[in-house]
Amino acid sequence: MSDFSDVQLGLDTFGDVTRDVAGELLSDAQTIRNVVAQAELADQVGVAFFGIGEHHRREFAISSPEIVMAAIAARTERLHVGTAVTVLSSDDPVRLYERFATLDAISGGRAEIILGRGSFIESFPLFGYDLRDYETLFEEKLDLFTRLLEEKPVTWNGSTRAPLTEADVFPKTENGIQAWIGVGGTPESVVRAARYRLGLMLAIIGGPAERFRPFVDLYHRSLAGFGHERLPVGVHSPGHVADTDAEAWDEAYAGFEAMNNTIGRERGWPPYSRLRFQHDVGPEGAIYSGSPETVARKIAHTVRLLGLDRFDMKFSTGTLPHEKMMRSIELYGTKVIPLVRDMLS
């Protein structure tokens, strides 16, 4: 992307279960209602996209993102709504298409889907899938889902579900559904996104953005090699905005520490530290946290470096209170987005 005038600035959330002002954990229900309010504010302050992750574990309240997105779509006017990500491997492509086509109707064409494997595996045993079929499940279901996106009768056969013969699926959309693949950083995943003619959404949650430039180049080369037109490239990274750098870092640290240590205990990571956090919010890190000016500079640098069409900041991490997230969204829309556009122009 050489002209950045149309770059989109979005937000993502996993619906992290947060604490109230007294330090008590909110209910899942209240957390979900708060996410709807956060999306309404995002729409009001000019955010382009609002993504909701799918998870099936206690730290996150949202296991059915399409239902939450439908509520958001009915209360917003311009905001595009989508997943970040949909765990395709443990879902049924036909039902998935039907849900998103319905969401697209409710939203007036503002529905998007980001497909992925997900970073957790709880959905596999929950829905009766064998992790030994990890690769086959994703490849076969992706193949079927992309055929369904063409909105024509589908004949398909595979090992992961019953075959289809001239199956016509409804409802039809008015203009199709924007679909992406979320990629963590393997060449095979990048080439797969190009082969299936899907947008590339890079999940950069550690290290400098520079190391993902080869993947962007590979994606564009692969698209050309498959004879496909240019498709969008985006980045998903965590962050938090406050009035000053110190305020943003102090507010965000506890949530990052809690989430990293919770996951780290399962995966054998070392304990998270303030020193590690300060590195992550610096130029070589993947956290976009600080004052509006600091965050805008880092986003603009990443957009230029990778030639992005969209940047989505995951504004929820751990138990960061709803009120702090609302302030972060307000600053992102009213301060960060205009600053990024000025810097890119």
Residue 325, both tokens? 């997230």
**Of all residues in the chain, what percent carry a pLDDT higher than 70?**
99
Which amino acid, one-letter code, is at 168? D
Exposure string (b/e) for 262-292, b if CB count within 10 Å is 16 or more?
eeeeeeeeeebeeeebeebbeeebbbbbbbb
pLDDT at 341 over 80: yes
Q: What is the pLDDT of residue 142?
A: 98
Task: Name the band, by pLDDT with cuts 50, 70 and 90, for residue 280.
Answer: very high
Exposure string (b/e) for 166-180, b if CB count within 10 Å is 16 or more?
eeebeeebeeebbbb
Query: What span, in angstroms and rounded, lies between the C-alpha atoms of 25 and 329?
Result: 21
Q: How many CB atoms lie within 10 A of CB 25?
A: 13
Would the pTM count as exceeding 0.85? yes
Phi, psi of 338 (to 5 degrees): -60, -40
Task: Name the band, by pLDDT with cuts 50, 70 and 90, for residue 2.
Answer: low
Query: What span, in angstroms and rounded, lies between the C-alpha atoms of 212 and 222?
Result: 15
Query: What span, in angstroms and rounded, lies between the C-alpha atoms of 144 and 154?
Result: 8
Average pLDDT over residues 299-313: 98
Residue 53, both tokens? 């992750």
Q: What is the pLDDT of residue 21?
A: 81
pLDDT in tens, 176-205: 999 999 999 899 999 999 999 999 999 999
pLDDT at 159 over 80: yes
Query: What span, in angstroms and rounded, lies between the C-alpha atoms of 133 and 130?
Result: 6
Query: What span, in angstroms and rounded, lies between the C-alpha atoms of 138 and 289?
Result: 33
Residue 335, both tokens? 């301060």
Query: What span, in angstroms and rounded, lies between the C-alpha atoms of 37 and 71?
Result: 10
Q: Which domains, ranges and CATH numbers included, belong to the chain?
A: 8-344 (3.20.20.30)
Which contacts (CB < 8 Å, 24+ apart) does range 341-344 have?
341/5, 341/7, 343/296, 343/297, 343/300, 344/4, 344/5, 344/7, 344/300, 344/303, 344/304
Residue 15, both tokens? 């619906």
Phi, psi of 207 (to 5 degrees): 80, 175
Q: What is the pLDDT of residue 114?
A: 98
Q: What is the pLDDT of residue 93?
A: 98
Which residues of the chain form beta strands (DSSP E)?
8-13, 49-52, 80-83, 86-87, 111-116, 154-156, 164-167, 178-183, 199-203, 233-241, 288-290, 310-314
Which residues neighbour 59 within 8 Å (Cβ) at sequence distance 6 or greater? 16, 17, 259, 262
